[in-house]
Structure 1
Amino acid sequence: MFDLPPPSRRRFLGATSAIGLSGVIGPTGVIGSGTTLSARAADGGGVVPVDWSRLGSYAGADAAGTRVSTVLAGSARYLIGPWYAATYTHYLPDGHIDLRGTDERAVRLPAMAAVAATTALVTGVYDPRTLSAANATVRTRNLIRTLAARHRANNTDAGTRWGGGWQTALWAYYTALSGWLFWDRLDTTARDHLVAMLVWEADRLTTGDSVHLIGTSGDELYMTRRNGTVVTPGDSKAEENSWSAAALSLAASMMPGHPGAARWTRRNAELLLAAAARPADLTGGTTVNGIRLSSWLRGTNIADDGTLENHARLHPLYMVAFDQSLYQGFVFGLANRAAPRAALHNIRRTYAALVDKPFPLPGGGTTPIYRPGSAEIHYPEGNDWGTHFPFYFGNFDLLVSLTGQDRGITPPAAEWERLHNTAQLSLMSRFTDGRTYGAAGENTYYGREHRIGAMAGQSYLTLFLARNATGNRLRWR
């Protein structure tokens, strides 16, 4: 375990960490009397910091807020406490922590941990019972600055750099979101690295026909082409499109004056629409964010009934992966802007398929995916990821409720959020360190605790915008 930076970096990090939360985060979760973000001019390559004072506050005292803040507080405490201490034991000669690789385990996991920790710290949700907020701030900053420094936009060492891969836009999104939330606690070098990283990944998604999710050769934008050809059987591209759109949405929100902002904004909407495209979208005259679906779309990723396939099965866990699209409400909201309506495309249809669509049971009869009156989930064709995922669904329920995408659906999403997130709290109650999972079979993903933390952070930020003291700041254009 280590909490202090090496002597060569202690002057900056120590001075900032000594501030801790006093004078930086007020009792209502608003950046307060210290150096305020609202007082800062845009810097770091044109980044406009979050103006927390203009956004107002959110106490998180309502029922859903209490549940989600409890999940976030526990998850952040575990990730930046025991997990960090066991994973990062020394600094490298350049003053960064050792990520111990360049793959998903080495990069995505700490990036998700940073989302949980930064959100908990800047909103006042952080629980300091086992690690002070000041030391948590130092650790979180270590994650952010190291991840950004190791991206290929800032790093020429082929052995330690990451970026330009199938999933790296998502890793960059997590890292840059954490950095944006922590902007006032980062030095100029870390800020410049964050900007270079995010711009590089965003530009990659808007240039070149051979780039993943862009062209018609190589990797695909759609599972099924409009002529009916199934290009990637049992493997919807919905999730990939949504996470790539996330990086574009964040780049456009953080750097609205950047020369690439218009390109990022347009491609963001295109990927959101492609993610949730269904066969019925290929005909008719629907236009969303200036994009005529019937003429722009070249294929589909979900069925007309709102279901989708992944891992060669109808997969509810990937249906709720549209949470990444709905998070755009808070991303643009933090910039005091409206999110593209494309993020809501076909969400209601997919949610209705979770709640209302009947599926046969092995012993006879039928049931929806959401078992009536229960937190139990029915997986019509099985679940290859494990047995316990209540927060995956409770997170999506909350987002659907806050964005009004459950109109006409009974029971409403708020009731399902209560059931699923109460089950999540029950899982967490088994442990004292804030984690969720025990036996490996409950969730076989090696980043299972980090995934909970990242979802909790983004859910809470959505609540912060939706139930803000200044009014609902989730807007769609």
Structure 2
Amino acid sequence: MTQSNPQLPTVLIPRQRSVATHRTAAAPAYTYVVPPVAFAPAISDVRCRSMVSKSSYYFSTYWWKTKNRYAATGIPTITWTTAFDMEITVREACNAAITMAVCADWGGYLPSAISLNIGDVRNRAARLVVGVARKHVTYGAGGAMWGGNWQSAYWAYSLGLAAWLLWNRQLTNAWDREAVGAVLEYEADLQLNRNRPEIWRDSTGADQPFSGVYRTGIRAGDSAAEEDMWQATVLDLAATMMPGHPRAAAWRKKAAQFGIVGAMSRNDLWDTTTDINGDSPNHWTVGAVGKPGYNWSERYVITNHGKRNPDYMQSDAMRLGMSLHHSLADEPTPEWVRWNSAKIYGAMRTVVYPGTVSPAKPMYKDTASPSLYFPDGKDWGTARHTGFWLWDSLVETHIGTSDAIPVSATHWDSVHGRAAKAMQDRTGVMPGGQIVLNDDEDRYPGREGWHAYSAAFVVLNKTLTNAGRLSWTNASLA
């Protein structure tokens, strides 16, 4: 199959707008952005490159023309009707942009998998970035806008990362850069000034209430781990992209608070001696939340949607993945990004669940199979292999061997990577490049974007590691 779309203009011309009143920096945020440091991507793993290439074909053809009915030229109009539609629309557009950007310029293109017009792929990625940025509250265009809502920090992170990957090759227009910079600044400042990390249970084991910023209730069956980690993403990315910004240091420290509280287990409540970037687990938590609390059980298992849940165990990959933007900047990644990750990942194999099955099984239940064991019933689907492959890949490069991990991440990288690629390569999944066949495999409406961006992150992780970019620092952030 070949990509037949014509080459589109490389300069994006937005309409005139007024500067949003939400801006708080003395200069436009985009002027602080330092582009990622270029390198020559080299990766021997063709599985992830094949997936990224085929997904880029899917997004730039069928998905673009039919699923979202975007115009052939111009900036896409990003629209939705409900709050959930907003999440799917904005998040999947950002995930598609990341995938296509990685395909175009960061080692993801495999010509033997499919023929693509790379200039067109790059241009469509940039147009998605601009379309999403223009629908943020900082753009001031009116109508249905996103921003400052539940999970918007994570969407802003995805938008910012996609833009950063395109910064020098495609996203060269000052107005477009300003729109993206304003989003990052706004969402990072909300986390800095309005929000705080949340905990599932306090030191007595009592379920804790939601903060009330987005919704209210009791966290009886919902750890705050994933939410804390996604709040950290935009803070850490904004500080890395804009190191000279007057609030960059504050963003970095607040990101660490969210990330550490997000990975806090019951075992770590009173740890006042371990040094994580300048402070202890207990001090990071008490300083951020105001009291000791945790989000993971003493066995490093998460509870979400009322279930001990492998889909949300994998949420730690969100935190580990923040190493990628540090590596793109050619700077060390702070240690908090991988604190407790070996124990969380190891629990996929070391914790067994007796009950309705015999013999008892761990979540990574069979070393020869990608299939998971869901001790309290499945949640999002039974074939979300690409996300687990990303987790395996990050643990393989970021942690390596550990007493907490009885079966190596290298082994699981092979198992889940093979399964993910096989999903996309099988017959019956149409059109070409699509990964998921039905809701039983994955019922999340934005599933194609989720799988594709996971494969794109595998590409980035492997290429950046091969380039010698991954390093670590435990320097104080206090």
Q: TM-score, normalised on structure 2? A: 0.84
Q: CA deviation at 1:130?
A: 5.8
**Separation of aligned partners in 1, 2:141 and 2:78:** 16
Q: State the partner residue of 2:435.
A: 436
Contact between 1:329 and 1:476, CA under 8 Å: does it hold in 2? no
**Separation of aligned partners in 2, 1:259 and 1:13:** 29
After the TM superposition, which of the residue ranges 161-170 and 422-431 deviates more from structure 2? 422-431
The SS at the match of 2:137 is coil
Q: State the partner residue of 2:117.
A: 132
Contact between 2:53 and 2:103, CA under 8 Å: does it hold in 1? yes
Q: State the partner residue of 2:135.
A: 150
1:100 maps to amino acid: T
Deviation track 1:219-266 (CA, whole Å, cap 9, x = no partner) reads x71111223221201101111111111111110110000001011000
2:446 maps to amino acid: G
The SS at the match of 2:42 is coil
Q: State the partner residue of 1:369.
A: 363
Gaps in structure 1 of 5+ consecutive residues: 15-41, 215-219
1:118 maps to amino acid: A
**Separation of aligned partners in 2, 1:119 and 1:92:** 22
1:105 maps to amino acid: I
RMSD in angstroms over aligned alpha carbons? 2.4
Q: CA deviation at 1:124?
A: 4.1
The SS at the match of 2:251 is helix
Which of 271, 275, 280 is the aligned partner of 1:292? 280
Contact between 1:307 and 1:353, CA under 8 Å: does it hold in 2? yes
1:255 aligns with 2:242: yes
**Separation of aligned partners in 2, 1:314 and 1:69:** 33
Contact between 2:198 and 2:228, CA under 8 Å: does it hold in 1? yes
1:66 maps to amino acid: V
Q: State the partner residue of 1:378.
A: 373
After the TM superposition, which of the residue ranges 148-157 and 325-334 deviates more from structure 2? 148-157
The SS at the match of 2:314 is helix
Contact between 2:135 and 2:146, CA under 8 Å: does it hold in 1? yes
Which of 414, 426, 449 is the aligned partner of 1:418? 414
Q: State the partner residue of 2:35.
A: 49
Contact between 2:230 and 2:318, CA under 8 Å: does it hold in 1? yes
Contact between 1:330 and 1:474, CA under 8 Å: does it hold in 2? no
Which of 42, 46, 50 is the aligned partner of 1:66? 46
Gaps in structure 2 of 5+ consecutive residues: 14-27, 209-218, 286-291
**Separation of aligned partners in 1, 2:254 and 2:10:** 42
1:397 aligns with 2:392: yes
**Separation of aligned partners in 1, 2:4 and 2:236:** 35
**Separation of aligned partners in 1, 2:380 and 2:11:** 43
Residues 299 and 141 (structure 1), Cα distance of their counterparts in 2 relative to 1, 3 Å cut: same
The SS at the match of 1:441 is coil
Which of 183, 186, 207 is the aligned partner of 1:230? 207
The SS at the match of 1:381 is coil
Residues 339 and 4 (structure 1), Cα distance of their counterparts in 2 relative to 1, 3 Å cut: same
The SS at the match of 1:442 is coil
**Separation of aligned partners in 2, 1:116 and 1:294:** 38
Deviation track 1:32-59 (CA, whole Å, cap 9, x = no partner) reads xxxxxxxxxx99321000120xxx3232
Q: Aligned runs of 1:323-362 on 2, under 5 Å?
A: 323-360=317-354, 362=356
After the TM superposition, which of the residue ranges 236-245 and 352-361 deviates more from structure 2? 352-361
Q: State the partner residue of 2:263.
A: 276
Q: State the partner residue of 2:167.
A: 183
1:473 aligns with 2:452: no
**Separation of aligned partners in 2, 1:423 and 1:444:** 18
**Separation of aligned partners in 2, 1:239 and 1:79:** 27
2:381 maps to amino acid: G
Q: State the partner residue of 1:25.
A: none
Which of 189, 197, 203 is the aligned partner of 1:203? 189
After the TM superposition, which of the residue ranges 103-112 and 129-138 deviates more from structure 2? 129-138
Q: State the partner residue of 1:36.
A: none
Q: State the partner residue of 1:110.
A: 93
Q: State the partner residue of 1:20.
A: none
Provide the identity percentage. Answer: 28
Which of 85, 88, 105 is the aligned partner of 2:65? 85
Residues 121 and 382 (structure 1), Cα distance of their counterparts in 2 relative to 1, 3 Å cut: same
Which of 313, 320, 326 is the aligned partner of 2:314? 320
Contact between 1:2 and 1:89, CA under 8 Å: does it hold in 2? no
Q: State the partner residue of 2:452.
A: 453
Residues 155 and 375 (structure 1), Cα distance of their counterparts in 2 relative to 1, 3 Å cut: same
Residues 91 and 81 (structure 1), Cα distance of their counterparts in 2 relative to 1, 3 Å cut: closer
**Separation of aligned partners in 2, 1:182 and 1:255:** 16
1:387 aligns with 2:382: yes
Which of 251, 256, 266 is the aligned partner of 1:264? 251
1:98 aligns with 2:97: no
The SS at the match of 2:422 is helix
The SS at the match of 2:333 is coil
Residues 131 and 405 (structure 1), Cα distance of their counterparts in 2 relative to 1, 3 Å cut: closer
Which of 79, 95, 102 is the aligned partner of 1:119? 102
Q: CA deviation at 1:182?
A: 0.3
Q: State the partner residue of 1:29.
A: none
**Separation of aligned partners in 2, 1:90 and 1:309:** 38
Contact between 1:359 and 1:367, CA under 8 Å: does it hold in 2? yes
The SS at the match of 2:282 is helix
Contact between 2:107 and 2:463, CA under 8 Å: does it hold in 1? no
The SS at the match of 1:422 is helix
